[in-house]
Amino acid sequence: MADFSADEARGHQAVIDGIKTIYRDVVRPIEVATKFESFHSNILTDSEFDAAPMVLLVGPYSVGKTSFIQYILGRNFPGQRVGPEPTTDRFMAVMYGESDKSIPGNALTVAPGSPFGGLKFYGNNFLTRFEGAIVNAPVLERLSLIDTPGVLSGEKQRLNRNYDFDQIVKWFAERVDMIILLFDPFKLDISDELASVIKILKGNEDKIRVVLNKADAIGVQQLMRVYGALMWSLGKVFDTPEVTRVYIGSFWEQPPRNPDTSPLLLAEMDDLLNDLRALPRSAAVRKVNELVKRIRLLRAHAYILHELRDMMPRFTGQEKKQRELLDPTKMSEVFRTVHRKHNLPPGDFPDIKKFIAVAGDLKFTEFPRVDGSRLRNGKLLEQLDLVVREDIPKILESMPGLAGSGSTFYDTGASQQSQEQYDTVYR
């Protein structure tokens, strides 16, 4: 990994310090008041902002996730298990340290400066299946890697794991900088369980890199067929019109074995490695992007709670009214009302089924009003808008290469119409 220049290092740290202050002073108070953690995601810690870029590896068992990590490190690491059967039975965070060692999950979540503190809320059933591998490998000074258990088919995925696998993947997906989704030529079928995991990644499509691993095991003609079949399968799962980029390679300790496909595989592998090398340099900008995504979801969330609170009767019939509002059809009307009133993009709204599932356990009469005392009589939401319109662009000015472009940072590649819509939402 290339080293930062002095200016880059200062700019990077200035951005991180700036968004930590914004989150602590403006965003977190709104999250606490609106019970955002119950509906969406844990409260963030300073350690999560300070953490090195992380890469999450996801895929069926025996597609080469652990071997991929070995390839990146150029060596073995503590706790690794490789084989044709489901071998990795736990989530493993591979991080830098002076001496090689393993750290149990419970200890890792409470360690000073650990970015994994939020995982302690998933309980001991998960933490006994979470482990840290400390490795003295230069690449890990700028990057951490997260290995995951292979996605199993059928009831094994649900019954053999006594923790919520999908939710753990979601937690990591929201915090990592890149998600590598691995397949191999002999396991192209996307099972219902894997499709469920991929859907959990929704909202993080910009982080996903699809890798067809072990591609040197087949010839040119078969590779073309396999590539086409994988693209067709992915098209059914990814709910986007854009074609997903698929990297072809053979990520393990040996060079590609097939001389006919070797030049293609080496070029593709180098492309992916270049993406990984670029992560540390753009980590601060990606953290800004994640914070803005979170702010947009939080803003919609606050207005939804306000609308539900306003629709509740003051005295009698509160339970009956809440039951009515929990009906999916009625809740859809509430979402549309909030969308029209505040001109919020539909993409900023939460999944309605998941929202109802959580809201059903809470009292709507206790939800905060946007203009109520818990949100400082509307001042916190005003500050939230100001943060996105003015504070974050100013912070980005401290990054070399972005000076003078902070005000247009969010329009990278967007049309004028999209920018006008953005300005309307955050006016």
pLDDT per position as a tens digit, 52-94: 999 999 998 889 999 999 999 999 998 887 665 555 678 999 9
CB 205 within 8 A of CB 238: yes
What tokens does 299 get? 């803003």
Reduced to 3 states (helix: H, G, I; strand: E, B; else coil), residue 212 is: strand
pLDDT at 399: 76
pLDDT at 1: 53
3-state secondary structure 68-90: HHHHHHCCCCCCCCCCCCCCCCC
Q: No. of H helices and E strands in the chain?
A: 18, 8
Beta-bridge partner residues of 91: 130
Question: Which residues have CB under 8 Å from 165's CB, separation 6+?
Answer: 149, 157, 197
Going by C-alpha positions, the residue among 245, 355, 257 that lies closest to residue 297 is: 355
Mean pLDDT in residue range 387-397? 91
**Which of the four pLDDT bands, split at 50, 70 and 90, describes residue 325?**
very high
pLDDT per position as a tens digit, 164-209: 898 999 999 999 999 999 999 987 888 888 888 998 998 888 899 9
CB 144 within 8 A of CB 53: yes
Residue with tokens 């090689």: 100
What's the half-sphere exposure (Cβ side, CA atoms, 13 Å) at 36? 22
**Which of the four pLDDT bands, split at 50, 70 and 90, describes residue 159?**
low
Distance CA 427, CA 425 (A): 6
Strand 54-58 to 144-147 pairing: parallel
In this predicted structure, the answer to whether residue 156 has a pLDDT above a threshold of 80 is no
What tokens does 202 get? 């929704």
**If residue 54 lies in a helix (H) or strand (E), which one and from where to where?**
strand 54-58
Going by C-alpha positions, the residue among 269, 74, 51, 46 that lies closest to residue 144 is: 51
Question: Which residues have CB under 8 Å from 364's CB, separation 6+?
Answer: 308, 309, 311, 312, 318, 321, 322, 325
3-state secondary structure 116-146: CHHHHHHHHHHHCCEEEEEECCHHHHCCEEE
CB 284 within 8 A of CB 17: no
pLDDT at 422: 34
In this predicted structure, the answer to whether residue 427 has a pLDDT above a threshold of 70 is no
CB 176 within 8 A of CB 140: no
User: End-to-end alpha-carbon separation of the chain, Å?
Assistant: 40
Count of residues making up the chain: 427
In this predicted structure, the answer to whether residue 157 has a pLDDT above a threshold of 70 is no
Q: What is the DSSP string of 318-357?
A: HHHHHHHHTSHHHHHHHHHHHHHHHT--GGGSPPHHHHHH
DSSP character at residue 24: I
pLDDT at 413: 35
**Which of the four pLDDT bands, split at 50, 70 and 90, describes residue 424?**
very low
The model's pTM: 0.86
CB 176 within 8 A of CB 55: yes
DSSP character at residue 365: G
Mean pLDDT in residue range 8-13? 84
- pLDDT, greater one: 1 or 353: 353
pLDDT per position as a tens digit, 213-267: 999 999 999 999 999 999 988 888 887 777 788 999 999 988 999 999 999 999 9
- pLDDT, greater one: 414 or 100: 100
In this predicted structure, the answer to whether residue 411 has a pLDDT above a threshold of 60 is no
Distance CA 238, CA 184 (A): 18
Give the range among 24-33, 240-249, 275-284, 307-316 with minimum mean pLDDT: 240-249
3-state secondary structure 254-314: CCCCCCCCHHHHHHHHHHHHHHHHHHHHHHHHHHHHHHHHHHHHHHHHHHHHHHHHHHCCC
- pLDDT, greater one: 8 or 268: 268
Q: Which domains does the chain have, with CATH numbers?
A: 49-260 (3.40.50.300), 291-425 (1.10.268.20)
